[in-house]
């Protein structure tokens, strides 16, 4: 286990412990049957813990499912608390509301590409650390058992993937580096693993391009956990500056990030611990608090958060260049790329 990955694990563990020290009587965000787990790639020696918020490392920490997908969702869970409509809960702003954010559109005939999405039609595809049949398999932890080979495909309910890199040729086949997206039985706010698979064989192609991007206009509710998975912001809005409005809740005692982080870049890996906006006005530990977008602030930009307990408008983008410093493990890098980084903030007031 390398020192870098030890530090990454420690950063997440310390933030989970901070959540457990929350105010007496406070309840965790209700994810409505979202569970807990971890994953690992061979040689990396570390586990990425999913934290509840779109974008990856999040405020108000709760572990989420990153298992093999071969299990039934928990039963007997309470029904979701109805939420007010965004139209009635988010205040209007005069007159500088940004125009709706346009998003790229794919068609079924589009070629597979890095930064795009694909559907896997094969039952099982084994995932490798590098292109080629001689490369080691990616492994993951499933429950309390030993590591198992990670797979994607219809058998594991991992037939929808985000394409990280590729194509590249090896052993007579075309290979893509992919990460499985969320499914009905697996929910996470960061990728469970990243690895290489072939896109087809003698019988034909078993990966086809798809377009899961939400229709514009893009607002905060479009990008929060109950409605999309970790890949949407990165795949649909990569490098695009977008402006979002949301509620900046007051922080309970003991929740504020103290500025320390055992790995770099600390402002990106740990900086979103106490920063998030929500589509509805709510307390920090509101049962609906999974419905939020966590964000980080690059200290080089000089952005300062306004007082909490009010609506704010933030402008920023996914896939910050500093994400490449989260490596060398590709899962760590991708988990940083999905974080939203803010470069400007405007206070709107408690009533907008």
For residues 135 and 129, the answer to whether their CB atoms sit within 8 Å is: yes
Residue in the structure block whose two tokens are 């500088």: 96
Q: Which class for 143: exposed (0-12), middle (13-18), buried (19 or more C-beta within 10 A)?
A: exposed
Residue 338 is predicted with a pLDDT of: 94
Tokens of 310: 């009010």
State the pTM of this model: 0.72
Torsion 327-333-337-338 (CA) sign: negative
- Pairwise CA distance, residues 341 & 31, whole Å: 24
Sign of CA dihedral 46, 319, 158, 276: positive
Which tokens hold the place of 83?
Answer: 């939420």
- CA nearest 199: which of 268, 236, 150, 152? 152
Provide the pLDDT for residue 352. 65
DSSP letter for each residue of 285-302: T-TTTTS-EEEEE-GGGT
For position 142, what pLDDT does the model report? 79
Q: Please report the pLDDT score of residue 160 as a whole number.
A: 95
Map out the domains of the chain as residue ranges. Answer: 3-74+89-104+214-349, 117-210
Rounded-to-integer distance, Cα 274 and Cα 276, Å: 7
Residue 144 Cα distances to 1, 40, 282, angstroms: 20, 13, 36
Placement of tokens 């960061």 in the chain? 190
- pLDDT at position 331 is 94
pLDDT per residue, tens digit, the chain (352 aa), is: 344 444 544 554 444 444 334 344 444 433 332 222 333 333 333 333 333 233 333 333 222 222 222 222 333 333 333 333 333 343 333 333 334 343 444 444 468 999 999 999 999 999 999 999 999 999 998 778 899 999 999 998 899 999 999 999 999 999 999 999 987 667 777 899 999 999 998 888 999 999 999 888 888 988 887 677 889 999 999 889 999 999 999 999 988 899 999 889 999 999 999 999 999 999 999 998 888 999 999 999 999 999 999 999 999 999 999 999 998 899 999 999 999 999 999 999 988 6
β-pairing, 340-349 vs 293-297, is: parallel
- The reported pLDDT for the residue numbered 226 is 66
Helix locations, the chain, DSSP H: 3-20, 86-89, 231-237, 266-269, 330-337
Compute the distance between CA of residue 187 and CA of residue 256 in angstroms, rounded to an integer.
26
What tokens were used for 319? 């896939």
The closest of 90, 178, 168 to 132, measured between CA atoms, is 168
Structure tokens at 309: 């307990």
**208 contacts 119 by C-beta, under 8 angstroms:** yes
Phi, psi angle pair for 148, to nearest 5° = -125, 160
Whole-angstrom Cα distance, residue 91 to residue 343? 22
**Cα end-to-end span (Å), the chain:** 49
């Amino acid at each position: 286990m390398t020192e870098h990955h030890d530090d990454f694990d420690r950063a997440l563990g310390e933030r989970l412990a901070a959540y457990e020290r929350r105010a007496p009587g406070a309840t965790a965000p209700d994810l409505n049957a979202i569970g807990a787990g971890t994953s690992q790639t061979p040689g990396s020696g570390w586990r990425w813990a999913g934290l509840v918020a779109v974008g990856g490392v999040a405020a108000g920490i709760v572990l989420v499912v990153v298992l093999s997908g071969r299990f039934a969702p928990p039963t007997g869970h309470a029904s979701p608390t109805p939420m007010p409509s965004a139209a009635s809960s988010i205040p209007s702003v005069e007159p500088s509301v940004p125009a709706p954010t346009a998003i790229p559109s794919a068609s079924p005939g589009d070629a597979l590409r890095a930064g795009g999405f694909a559907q896997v039609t094969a039952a099982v595809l084994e995932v490798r650390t590098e292109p080629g049949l001689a490369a080691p398999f990616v492994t993951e932890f499933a429950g309390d058992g030993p590591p198992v080979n990670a797979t994607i495909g219809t058998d594991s309910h991992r037939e929808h993937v985000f394409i990280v890199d590729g194509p590249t040729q090896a052993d007579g086949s075309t290979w893509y580096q992919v990460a499985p997206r969320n499914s009905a039985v697996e929910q996470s706010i960061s990728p469970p693993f990243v690895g290489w698979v072939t896109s087809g064989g003698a019988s034909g192609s078993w990966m086809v391009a798809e377009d899961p991007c939400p229709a514009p206009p893009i607002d905060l509710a479009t990008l929060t956990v109950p409605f999309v998975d970790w890949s949407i912001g990165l795949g649909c809005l990569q490098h695009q500056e977008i402006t979002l409005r949301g509620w900046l809740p007051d922080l309970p005692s003991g929740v504020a990030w103290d500025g320390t982080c055992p790995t770099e870049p600390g402002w990106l890996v740990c900086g979103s611990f106490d920063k998030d906006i929500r589509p509805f006005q709510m307390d920090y530990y509101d049962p609906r608090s999974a419905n939020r977008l966590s964000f980080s602030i690059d200290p080089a930009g000089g952005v300062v958060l306004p007082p909490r307990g009010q609506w704010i408008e933030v402008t920023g983008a996914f896939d910050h260049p500093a994400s490449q410093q989260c490596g060398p493990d590709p899962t760590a890098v991708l988990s940083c790329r999905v974080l939203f980084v803010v470069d400007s903030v405007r206070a709107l007031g408690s009533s907008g």
